[in-house]
């Protein structure tokens, strides 16, 4: 009788789990069915291609300033500034869990890493220094702050602030149009 009651109890427990419980498979199916909201990296991926400088007259020039391309299986966006010149620099945009990050490979020979602030404006991404390599400290000269404004599908603005000893020493601003 005890064996029958034990088997009956186990059967009821298993049946209740099947009726009311959620298995790992069910959780995986539910997660796959929910659409993933686009990340801010997805917005940067849309920049793929060549970007030219906007002249003083407000019209695009023929001068290519930036090239964006998605790489590493869609997990990284590479930005090349001033390609083919002695001032060529590369910035890599990527996600570190839920944080949009960048690493800027500067002509100065250092590689500041920056973390994006939580979004305040939907088309504006603001980055602040979060360490880096080839710098003794954040007092060394380095790019410390960057802002990327996605004006529309064919226009962007970026601003890079260089710091030394905790103070801004240079501002590089770009207004670009898709080529």
pLDDT, one tens digit for every residue, the chain (179 residues):
555 545 444 444 444 455 455 566 766 666 556 655 678 999 999 999 999 999 999 999 999 999 999 999 999 999 999 999 999 999 999 999 999 999 999 999 999 999 999 999 999 999 999 999 999 998 999 999 999 999 999 999 999 999 999 999 999 999 999 99
33-41 contact pairs (CB < 8 A, 24+): 39/95, 39/100, 40/100, 40/116, 40/119, 40/125, 41/77, 41/93, 41/94, 41/95, 41/100
Q: Which domains does the chain have, with CATH numbers?
A: 2-33 (no CATH), 40-178 (2.40.128.20)
Taking the mean position of all CA atoms in its chain, how far away is CA 8?
A: 55
3-state helix, strand, coil in the chain (%, to 5): 20, 50, 30
Question: The whole model's pTM is what?
Answer: 0.80
């Amino acid at each position: 009788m005890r064996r029958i009651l034990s088997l009956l109890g186990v059967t009821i427990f298993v049946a209740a789990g099947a009726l009311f419980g959620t298995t790992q498979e069910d959780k995986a199916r539910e997660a796959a069915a929910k659409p993933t909201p686009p990340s801010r990296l997805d917005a940067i991926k849309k920049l793929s291609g060549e970007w030219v400088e906007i002249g003083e007259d407000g019209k695009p020039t023929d001068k290519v300033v930036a090239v964006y391309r998605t790489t590493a299986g869609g997990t990284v966006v590479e930005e090349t500034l001033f390609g083919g010149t002695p001032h060529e620099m590369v910035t890599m945009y990527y996600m570190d869990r839920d944080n949009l990050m960048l690493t800027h490979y500067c002509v100065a020979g250092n590689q500041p890493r920056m973390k994006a602030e939580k979004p305040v404006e939907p088309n504006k991404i603001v980055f602040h220094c979060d360490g880096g390599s080839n710098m003794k400290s954040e007092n060394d000269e380095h790019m410390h702050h960057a802002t990327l404004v996605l004006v529309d599908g064919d226009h962007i603005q970026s601003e890079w602030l260089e710091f030394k000893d905790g103070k801004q020493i240079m501002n590089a601003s770009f207004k670009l149009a898709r080529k």
